[in-house]
Amino acid sequence: MSLDIVIMAAGKGTRMKSRHPKVLHKLAGRALLSHVVQTCAGLGAERILVITGHGADRVEAATQASFPQLPLAFVRQEPQLGTGHAVQQAEPQLADEGTTLILNGDVPLIRAETAQALIDACGGKQLALLTIELHDPTGYGRIVRSGDGHGGHVVGIVEHKDATPAQRQIREVYTGMMAAPTALLRKWLARLDNNNAQGEYYLTDVVAMAKRDQVPVVATHAASEIEVLGVNSPLQLADLERRYQRHQAETLMEQGVRLADPARFDLRGELLAGQDVEIDVNNVFEGRVELGDNVRVGPNCVIKNARIGSGTVIQAFTHIEGDAAGVDVGASAIIGPFARLRPGAVLGNEVHIGNFVEVKNSTLAHGAKANHLAYLGDATVGERVNYGAGSITANYDGANKHRTVIGNDVHVGSNCVLIAPITVGDGATIGGGSTVSKEVPAGHLCVARAKQISLAGWQRPQKKK
């Protein structure tokens, strides 16, 4: 059976008080609309139609760039005259038969299982509504049922602004998401009018039309409130962020991860953790992060697109920025505090990277150490190397990057500059304060610095009064 998905993402989001389109504001590091499209990716739709309006060019470009593989199409709603008017713009692109699923671009956490249940409830024959009971239903359309309203058949939806005081006491609300037989939906959309308090075309009016046409109207219930909460203001966005992060934290703790405080934890991507992983407070994980068994992460770290080996300790205030190239850290390493690993850093087992050391596009073999105030860029570092405080690889000549190769068991003294391209042979020693621009043979001592002189009677310049 053909499935079309319509995502409504045209609203301005006035209460966000922002220049950015509402659906591009981020939750857990991703645009609100991106969350919804990602959910749709697993539903097997022939078409995913995104209705845009405010900031349409930006919304369309960002969404297409994030999901180039999906059957995405975009429809403009200009001006915005209500939810029914929005779906009317997509109607010409809908299939003749099958099911149309309608979702909201500012309701980011709908689960694929819930969306699929809504599709199944429709079955191409019934109008299926996604509902939930809220403690505070203010602002939501109320589900009106036959009889006493408890378990009776759905007979309509009344928008909050049009509801009577009695109807506003109803706690079962329409979430803004439905699935409808496509052929019938086409007919209902053509019959919509704007005879209401807002002068808008309400999609919810199709419920009454379905009843008149003797089409069954059924309701499926969302499993959790977090799935159906929309974002209309910075306050709501922040509230949903914390709810979502708490949910992710609880999921990880159920898997055995020890979080010092689940209220001070942020996951903006995917985190895979082995056994006996300990994570202190105020850590942010982005992209895809893998933590091996017995990894310990100290407080206030940011880790993005990285694989951390078993038994490794990431100390406080460390930043690991894998980006597309990723970062790999071996087993039983010690990183930090205040260390920075950039894309392409590959560290072997038992490597030590200490405070204010930066590593970029470099490999450090088993047991190598750079413990203080150092930079390693575009370098290949052998086993058991000791890289001194204040030393750097000068890898950039103003136009191109060059590589430094440091063999096994090399000792680099403090405050050295290794000017790439250069090779330092196994077992060599670089004397402190040296600026080295030529190959250092294996086993040699290299000292490259000016002769020290002392000048008697020299006077330091005085500040003029």
Residues labelled catalytic: 372
Rounded to the nearest 10 degrees, the angle between the axes of helix 56-66 and helix 32-40 is 50
CA 246/CA 417 separation, integer angstroms: 47
CA separation for the pair 267, 116 (Å, rounded): 26
Q: For residue 322, give both structure tokens.
A: 């894998």
Question: How far is 4 from 17, CA to CA, in rounded Å?
Answer: 33
Taking Cα atoms as reference points, which of 225, 112, 248 lies closest to residue 172? 225
Q: Is the peptide bond before 421 cis (omega within 30 degrees of 0)?
A: yes
Q: Is beta strand 375-377 parallel, antiparallel or unpaired with respect to 369-372?
A: unpaired
Rg (CA), the chain: 30
C-alpha distances in Å from residue 191, one per residue of 71, 182, 423 = 29, 15, 78
For 146-210, the DSSP string reads STTSSS--EEEEE-GGG--TTGGG--EEEEEEEEEEHHHHHHHHHT----STT----GGGHHHHH
The DSSP result for 326-378, as a single string, is: -EEE-TT-EE-SS-EE-TT-EE-TT-EEEET-EEES-EE-TT-EEEES-EEES
Torsion over CA of 37, 40, 41 and 43, rounded to 10 degrees?
180
Give yes or no for a contact between 175 and 131, defined as CB atoms under 8 angstroms apart.
yes
> How far from the centroid of its chain's Cα atoms is residue 192's Cα?
38
Per the rule left: phi > 0, alpha: psi between -120 and 50, beta: everything else, 176 is: left
Tell me the two tokens of residue 190. 């053509």
Instruction: Give residue for tokens 């991703």.
Output: 30
Say how many CA atoms lie within 13 Å of 314 toward its Cβ.
35
Left if phi > 0, otherwise alpha if psi is -120 to 50, otherwise beta: which for 287?
A: left
| Number of Cβ within a 10 Å radius of residue 261 | 12
